Amino acid sequence: MKINVNNAEIKISAGDVKQFPRERLPQIVLSGRSNVGKSSMINALLGRKSLARVSSSPGKTVTLNFYDIDGKIIFADLPGYGYARRSRDTKRGFSTLTESYFLKNPSSDLIKLVIQLIDVRIGPTEDDLMMIDFLSKSGLPFIVTATKADKLSPSKLIETVSNIEKTFFSGTDIRVIPFSSVTGQGKQELWKLILKAAE
């Protein structure tokens, strides 16, 4: 797939399942705790400073923001979970909007890849593990990325990522891909996986 990543725009900031896009375009989803760096990852992937709004205070993004990339791919920026439980959160701890996206979305067959973000310095939280468990059981294609990689030295990063894989994901085929929105580390690898999934 040939794609012009410079041709990207926000499609809709959806607060309700009725507003989810209906086009038959592959959707790539960003999932993770509030403040983990989902919106920053979108900006980094697109080489933009502020297409996706980066939160100054965590827990702000309660809408599900869809971005159109060159009319070929849709990025879905899920509301962050795990920050001061909201009354509209479900038992799982996700927002009702996130739950609708995965479970009540008429276009859920268009979900081609879920990019699950964890903070490399924190490792997967209980909420992250719950989400990863949900994704595994749902059969949705997903990858795990450890973001804010720039916060660790290169050697510490390798050690940390391998520890996370050993501690939490041994016996699975889950790999942890280091990423940084600041340095762009992991960007190429991620784009490869995105394009392959969207094909």
Which positions touch ligand GTP (CB under 6 A)?
32, 34-40, 54-55, 58-61, 80, 147-148, 150-151, 180-182
Nearest-CB residue for Mg ion: 39
Minimal distance, residue 34 CB to ligand GTP, in Å: 4
In the complex with ligand GTP, the residue whose CB is nearer, 4 or 153, is: 153
* Nearest 10 degrees: Cα torsion 161, 164, 170, 172: -80
Kindly indicate which of the ranges 54-62, 125-133, 151-159, 160-168 contains the residues binding Mg ion, using the contact rule CB under 5 A: 54-62
User: Should residue 31 be labelled a site residue for Mg ion when binding is judged by CB under 5 A?
Assistant: no
Burial of 64 (0-12, 13-18, 19+ CB in 10 A): buried
Q: Which ranges of the chain would DSSP assign to H, the alpha helix?
A: 38-46, 96-103, 126-138, 154-169, 187-198
133: helix, coil or strand?
helix
The C-alpha atoms of residue 80 and residue 33 are separated, in whole angstroms, by 5
In the complex with ligand GTP, the residue whose CB is nearer, 4 or 85, is: 85
In the complex with ligand GTP, the residue whose CB is nearer, 11 or 148, is: 148
User: Should residue 39 be labelled a site residue for Mg ion when binding is judged by CB under 5 A?
Assistant: yes
Angle between helical axes of 187-198 and 38-46 (0-180°, round to 10):
90
User: Should residue 61 be labelled a site residue for Mg ion when binding is judged by CB under 5 A?
Assistant: yes
The site partner of 112 among Mg ion, ligand GTP, none (C-beta below 5 to 8 Å per kind) is: none
Binding region for Mg ion (CB under 5 A):
38-39, 61
